[in-house]
Amino acid sequence: MVPTRVTCYRAPHTVCDVDEIADWLDDRVTASVDVRDRFLDVHHADAYVDVFAKARVHSPTDPATGSNMYGIRRYEERVLADPERSGGVLYDGITVQRGLNAAIPAGERSLDHLHVAFLDRVIGTWGDHDGRWHKRVAVLGQPALISVPGLTEAPAKPEAYYKHKQQSAMLTGDTPPREVLEGALKEGFLREDDPRTTEALKGYALAAVHVLATGQAFCDVEHCRLANPHRHGGVIEAQLREPQFCPKHTAEYA
């Protein structure tokens, strides 16, 4: 189904400029594109504490998620009220997506009206094939979830990053601050709060519409905005370098 309306939700606690992404998207799809404030504020639901407590991943290799412990629920309450305090927690993207879907007003829930929620949380999906969690930039569906910190955390960093980290650790006997490492290798990957964040997330927003319209999530051509690269270098190639699209998707979206 080709959606006729797409609503994007801002991520005010991040560097991502969702209005710019929505403008870009509006120029490329037939749907009308509008922007609202943060999803969790616009569609307010008491159940969010449960949703995030239930979605919390315990360990990279444990498929079970969630905790009803008082401390966890208190933490989630605090982070919902004050997102600046979040960090370091991975959430199951499918559970979060289900929870957010339930919060969309019934009249807006059909796939004719796609919602794209930009989030300040790190999300992942369980890999049945290798028995571990994988962080994701995007979990497509209704709503599509796009994780702004996921852009930094999900793709693998360049080999040089890990090597440099190892060498520095050997020299100083301690792991140098992340800023040092990331500064040294600035061009090779996207840092936290990278100024290229907005540009780099445009293709993921388009993928959210594209999968509904075509049933195909991502494109196999590496340099295409609709590709789904597993490494930072691939994200830079796909989202930040010309040409924007493969020939097929140039015809559709350029």
Judged by CB under 5 A, the residue of 114, 122, 219, 235 near Zn ion is: 219
Does 246 bind Zn ion (CB under 5 A)? Our answer is yes
249 touches Zn ion (CB under 5 A): yes
Least distance (Å) from Zn ion to the CB of residue 55?
Answer: 31
Judged by CB under 5 A, the chain residues 220 through 239 that form the site for Zn ion are: 221, 224, 226
Q: How many residues does the chain have?
A: 254
Reduced to 3 states, what is the DSSP secondary structure of residue 153?
helix
Q: Long-range pairs for 73-79 at CB < 8 Å and ≥24 separation?
A: 73/49, 76/48, 76/49, 76/52, 77/49, 79/52
Crossing angle between the packed helical segments 48-55 and 93-103, to the nearest 10 degrees: 170
Rounded to whole angstroms, how far apart are CA atoms 54 and 101?
15
CB of 230 to Zn ion, least distance (A): 16
Establish if 213 lies at the interface with Zn ion (CB under 5 A). Answer: no
Q: Which of 62, 5, 55, 53 is nearest to 30 (CA)?
A: 5
With respect to Zn ion, which residue has the nearer C-beta, 31 or 219?
219
Do residues 195 and 20 make contact, with C-beta atoms less than 8 angstroms apart? no
Q: Is 43 in the site for Zn ion (CB under 5 A)?
A: no
Instruction: Rule CB under 5 A: say whether 207 interacts with Zn ion.
Output: no
Tokens of 21: 């992404």
Sheet of 138-139, strands arranged across: 32-36, 5-9, 113-119, 144-147, 138-139
Nearer to Zn ion, 2 or 80 (CB): 2
Our CB check for Zn ion shows the closer of 121 and 249 to be: 249
Q: In what order do the strands lie in the sheet with 122-127?
A: 90-92, 122-127, 132-136
In the complex, least distance from residue 226 CB atom to Zn ion, rounded to whole angstroms: 5
* Shortest spacing between CB 3 and Zn ion, in angstroms: 19
Nearer to Zn ion, 156 or 221 (CB): 221
* Distance from C-alpha of 226 to C-alpha of 246, rounded to nearest angstrom: 9
**Stretch of 13-21, 162-170, 181-189, 240-248 lying at the interface with Zn ion (CB under 5 A):** 240-248
Q: Which stretch binds Zn ion (CB under 5 A): 1-9, 20-28, 157-165, 242-250?
A: 242-250
In the complex, the smallest distance separating the C-beta of residue 250 from Zn ion, rounded to whole angstroms, is: 8
Which two three-digit tokens encode residue 241?
Answer: 């370098």
Q: Using CB under 5 A, which of the segments 114-122, 152-160, 208-216, 241-249 binds Zn ion?
A: 241-249
Of the pair 119, 144, the CB lying nearest Zn ion is at: 144
Contact residues toward Zn ion (CB under 5 A) are 219, 221, 224, 226, 246, 249
